[in-house]
Structure 1
Amino acid sequence: MQKHDVRISKSPCRHRSSRSAPRWPSITIPFFGHIIDNARTPSSQVPKIKRTMISALRSSIRVPVFRSSPVHRRTLISLANKKYTATAIASGAGWEGRTELEDGSLVFDLAIPKEMGGSGDGQNPDQLLALGYASCFLGALQLAAKNNNVRLSNNVEVQAAVSFGDAKDSGYGIGVELTVTGADSTLAQAAHEICPYSRLFREGVEVKTSFE
């Protein structure tokens, strides 16, 4: 499970000046737990008696740890009903191909980023994910503020930084860092419970694949 942090900016507006704007504290908030696991050592290098002790201890040390967050069961999200469906079609040479909405209202020519040896003359999936997560989390912040009778700053902003790279275990993975400007950590935590993107990363979702 990957860990995603929310960083609260020192000011309610990074790009605009405000004479009377309040200053917010700088804080990093882990919003879900991770699993503590013991170090892995080849069994051939561990004496038999120690291997027995390690085996007995494994079940007791593999426990979830949560910091400043509610306890979540690891269950996949399942929709009770569908309110809206967005359909995109990707074609061509993968990351150097093309992706568009089914109705043709939005079209992107894709390109591998320069940092990964590509031309960078186009968009990539991580950029599109960053756009979606930032806007979705902003909406969740506004709803959380309304639900808790909190007056949210008009200058509130959400920056989503999505990184692509090698996962620690195997294969590829992504890392996400949200920077929230103009809201406090309590409201950000509440927004994580609302935002479908945050729930997707935290709980996972079933992906159904069909073939034609």
Structure 2
Amino acid sequence: MDALYTAVATASGRDGRTVSSDGQLDLPLAMPPALGGNGQGTNPEQLFAAGFAACFASALGLVGRQAKVDTKDASVTAEVGIGKDDTDGGFGLAVTLRVELPEHLQGESGRALLEQAHHVCPYSKATRGNIPVEVVAE
């Protein structure tokens, strides 16, 4: 693949900072209280959720334009859960994408667009077969 753009960020761990090479992203990192931390910063799961939600919304816009359907009033909320992975004793992720569709996209036509977006979204491609991802139309 010839990259059209490459994002670069450096992190010093879950309790530290993450900074992008262009300085647009500069955030404190902290373990969430649910994992024993103080919650005084963002965490990788929040960053992944934000990226996946934005990417999926963009993919939905793309397939909407291709189908000549207006998707501008749709919004995507990504829920990224982290928990114990029973297969290896480490940790694993699971994602639920909750997509609020405008009224004109309720039903089968909206569901078909979501399936197409899930097929073309780079985050969906990266996670397919690796972690559970559920797409829910709301």
TM-score bracket for the superposition, by shorter chain length:
0.7 to 0.9
SS of 1:162 mapped into structure 2? strand
Partner of 1:83: 4
- The answer for the alignment partner of 2:118 in structure 1 is 192
For the pair 1:111 / 2:30, whether they are aligned, the reply is: yes
Q: How many pairs does the alignment contain?
A: 122
TM-score of the aligned structures, taking structure 1 as reference length: 0.55
1:161 alignment counterpart: 79
Other structure's SS at 1:146 match: helix
1:203 and 1:140 map into 2 onto residues whose CA distance is: 19
When you count strand as a share of all residues, which structure comes out higher?
A: 2
User: Match for residue 40 of structure 2?
Assistant: 121
Shift of 1:147: 1.1
After the TM superposition, which parts of structure 1 deviate over 3 Å for at least 4 consecutive aligned residues? none
Distance 2:73 2:63 in 1: 16
- State the percentage of identical aligned residues: 41
Structure 2 stretches of 5 or more lacking a match?
A: 131-138
What is the CA deviation profile of residues 177-210 of structure 1, one whole-angstrom value per residue up to 9, with x for unaligned ones?
Answer: 0001114211000001110000000156xxxxxx
Bigger relative CO (Cα 8 Å, ≥ 6 apart): 1
State the Cα RMSD in Å. Answer: 1.3
Secondary structure of the residue that 1:165 maps to in structure 2? strand
The AA in structure 2 aligned to 1:173 is G
* TM-score between the two structures when normalised by the length of structure 2: 0.83
- Unaligned segments of structure 1, at least 5 residues: 1-78, 205-212
Give yes or no for the alignment of 1:179 onto 2:98: yes
Larger Rg, first or second structure (1 or 2):
1
2:42 counterpart of 1:131: no
Amino acid of the structure 2 residue aligned with 1:166 = K
Pick the structure with more helix per residue: 2
